[in-house]
Amino acid sequence: MSSEPHPTAILTGASGGIGAAIVAELLSLGYQVYGIGRDFSKKDSPKATEFFHPVELDLTDTAALTDYLVPLQKKHAVSLLVNNAGVGYFGLHEELNSRKIHEMVMVNVEVPMLLSQLFLRDLKQLRGQIINISSVTAHKSNPHGCAYGATKAALSSFSSSLFDEARKYGVRITGIHPDMTVSNFYRNADFDTDGDVQCSLTPQDVASAVRSVITARDGMVITDITLKPQLHRLHRK
Ligand SMILES: NC(=O)c1ccc[n+]([C@@H]2O[C@H](COP(=O)([O-])OP(=O)(O)OC[C@H]3O[C@@H](n4cnc5c(N)ncnc54)[C@H](OP(=O)(O)O)[C@@H]3O)[C@@H](O)[C@H]2O)c1
């Protein structure tokens, strides 16, 4: 963390689900958080406070994104970037369309790469940190989620390579790999998380992993975390 009383964090996908739980965790760690999402009017969206700034932006509009972030970067020393926003479309690969494939590649891979590039010099100066919310799908074969799994494999590969590139500057980079987590993520799928807490993670489980990564002692870096529920079971809609 930087020595500012309220170090600045950028978090994508802050408007609900796992991101909303990460917002609460970052605020409890003393960060001021700029959280990006398209719609903060949802029931579980965190509300604006002195230290939480909801930013309504579509991440696929990368021109608007950089127009917002470049001036912010001049005003605040950003010491933490959490790439959490993600989108998944599932089913037989031939049933996806180019718009869905493009959206997954943009949101899940291209935007984390762009944001990392934008903030990396600052993070090197501040000995800051990037946390990428990937997925267990990054490490396995994903029939009915071939493109989604490939985007997460790319994000995890990017994450570990960038750590090796930037570690000598004191930058810490972590990929977190959750299994199925209760959120609105599977709204486009023909399956969802099982209701039993033994069979799925909670957004708070992932947020607690984020806390562990941030509070690790100086000199020790948690580069990867995989989180799985005790039991493997999902719910067919
Ligand atoms: N849920 C799971 O089982 C699970 C498992 C492993 C990994 N993950 C990963 O965890 C991350 C968070 O997922 P979640 O479960 O919390 O899903 P979620 O409830 O669907 O939340 C996704 C977040 O990403 C934001 N987002 C998506 N597309 C965006 C865009 N074009 N522009 C701006 N914001 C955008 C959404 O904001 P708006 O809706 O306001 O646009 C929302 O805040 C994702 O990267 C996902 O791949 C989830």
Q: How many CB atoms lie within 10 A of CB 31?
A: 25
CA distance 115 to 220: 24
Question: How many domains is the chain partitioned into structurally?
Answer: 1
pLDDT at position 120, please?
98
Gap from CA of 13 to ligand 1 centroid (Å) = 5
Residue 17 belongs to a domain = yes
Residue 215 belongs to a domain = yes
Gap from CA of 219 to ligand 1 centroid (Å) = 31
Is the CB of residue 228 below 6 angstroms from any atom belonging to ligand 1?
no
Query: Tens digits of per-residue pLDDT, 166-192?
Result: 999 999 999 999 999 999 999 989 898
Is the CB of residue 201 below 6 angstroms from any atom belonging to ligand 1?
no
pLDDT at position 3, please?
54
Domain housing 137:
8-236
Q: How far is CA 134 from CA 84, 143, 206, 214, in A?
A: 8, 18, 11, 17
Residue 183 belongs to a domain = yes
Q: How far is CA 180 from CA 46, 151, 222, in A?
A: 22, 16, 21
Low-confidence ranges of the chain (pLDDT < 70): 1-4
The residue among 11, 45, 14 whose CA lies nearest residue 31 is 11
3 state SS of 54: strand
Gap from CA of 87 to ligand 1 centroid (Å) = 6
Report the CATH number at residue 180.
3.40.50.720
Query: Tens digits of per-residue pLDDT, 88-127?
Result: 999 999 999 999 999 999 999 999 999 999 999 999 999 9
- Best mutation site among 82, 83, 87 for ligand 1 pocket (most ligand atoms within 8 Å of CB): 87
Instruction: Provide the Cα torsion 13, 233, 210, 145; round to 10°.
Output: -50
Gap from CA of 8 to ligand 1 centroid (Å) = 21
